Amino acid sequence: MEKILIFDTTLRDGEQSPGFSMNIQEKLQVAKQLEKLNVDIIEAGFPIASEGDFQAVRAIAKSIKRSKIAALARAEDKDIDRAWEAIKEAPHPVIHTFISTSDLHLKHQLHLSQKDVLQKVVLAVKRAKSHAPQVEFSAMDATRTERAYLCQVVEAAINAGASTINIPDTVGYAIPHEFGDLIKHLRKNVTNIDKAILGVHCHNDLGLAVANSLAAVLSGARQVECTINGIGERAGNASMEEIVMSIRTRKDFFKQIYTQIVTEQIYPTSRLLTQITGISVQPNKAIVGSNAFAHESGIHQDGLLKEKITYEIMTPESVGISQSTLVMGKHSGRHAFKDRLKKLGYELSDEEVNILFKRFKDLADKKKEVFDEDLEALIAEEFLRIPEKYKLLNLNVTSGTVAIPTATVEMEVDGIVVKEAGFGDGPVDAAFKTIAKVTGTKSKLLKFLVNAITGGTDAQGEVTVRLEENGLIATGQGAHTDIILASAKAYINALNRLAHLSSHS
What is the tens place of the pLDDT at every residue in 216-243? 999 999 999 999 999 999 999 999 999 9
Residue after which a domain boundary falls, among 192, 222, 256? 256
CA distance 502 to 498: 6
Are 69 and 154 members of one domain?
yes
Are 69 and 145 members of one domain?
yes
Mind listing the pLDDT tens digit for each residue in 323-381?
533 446 676 777 778 877 876 777 788 888 888 888 888 888 877 667 776 787 787 77
Are 120 and 79 members of one domain?
yes
Residue 53, Cβ density class (10 Å: 0-12 exposed, 13-18 middle, ≥19 buried):
buried
Q: What is the DSSP letter of 49?
A: G
CA distance 417 to 420: 10
CA neighbor of 317 nearest in space, from 366, 356, 262, 355: 262
Please give the pLDDT value at position 296: 40
Are 113 and 27 members of one domain?
yes
- What range defines the domain where residue 99 resides? 2-256
Q: Residue 147 — pLDDT band, cuts 50, 70, 90?
A: very high
Counting the structural domains of the chain, the total is 3
For 261-285, the DSSP string reads --GGGHHHHHHHHHHHH--PPPTT-
- Beta strands 41-45; 68-74: pairing state: parallel
Please give the pLDDT value at position 462: 85
Please report whether residue 335 resides in a domain. Answer: yes
Please report whether residue 218 resides in a domain. Answer: yes
Which has the minimum average pLDDT: 175-184, 295-304, 404-413?
A: 295-304
Please report whether residue 84 resides in a domain. Answer: yes
Residue after which a domain boundary falls, among 368, 383, 398? 383
Please give the pLDDT value at position 167: 98
Please report whether residue 303 resides in a domain. Answer: no
Q: What is the mean pLDDT of residues 85-104?
A: 98
CA distance 248 to 251: 6
Winning range, highest mean pLDDT, from 18-22, 50-54, 495-499 = 50-54
Are 146 and 92 members of one domain?
yes
Q: Residue 385 — pLDDT band, cuts 50, 70, 90?
A: low
Are 174 and 242 members of one domain?
yes
Are 83 and 162 members of one domain?
yes
161 torsion bin: left (phi>0), alpha (psi -120 to 50), beta (else):
left
Are 459 and 369 members of one domain?
no
Are 424 and 493 members of one domain?
yes
Please report whether residue 262 resides in a domain. Answer: no
Q: Residue 205 — pLDDT band, cuts 50, 70, 90?
A: very high
Q: Residue 300 — pLDDT band, cuts 50, 70, 90?
A: low
Are 376 and 403 members of one domain?
no
Residue pair 48/34 in contact (Cβ under 8 Å)? The answer is: no
Mind listing the pLDDT tens digit for each residue in 433-470?
999 999 999 999 998 989 876 667 667 788 989 899 99
Please give the pLDDT value at position 346: 76
Which has the minimum average pLDDT: 259-263, 472-476, 485-489?
A: 472-476
Please report whether residue 315 resides in a domain. Answer: no
Residue after which a domain boundary falls, among 232, 256, 280? 256
Please give the pLDDT value at position 369: 67
258 torsion bin: left (phi>0), alpha (psi -120 to 50), beta (else):
beta
Please report whether residue 294 resides in a domain. Answer: no
CATH number at residue 409: 3.30.160.270
Are 468 and 368 members of one domain?
no
Please report whether residue 8 resides in a domain. Answer: yes
Residue pair 80/123 in contact (Cβ under 8 Å)? The answer is: no
Q: What is the mean pLDDT of residues 304-321?
A: 79
Name the amino acid, one letter, at 304.
L
Residue pair 228/244 in contact (Cβ under 8 Å)? The answer is: no
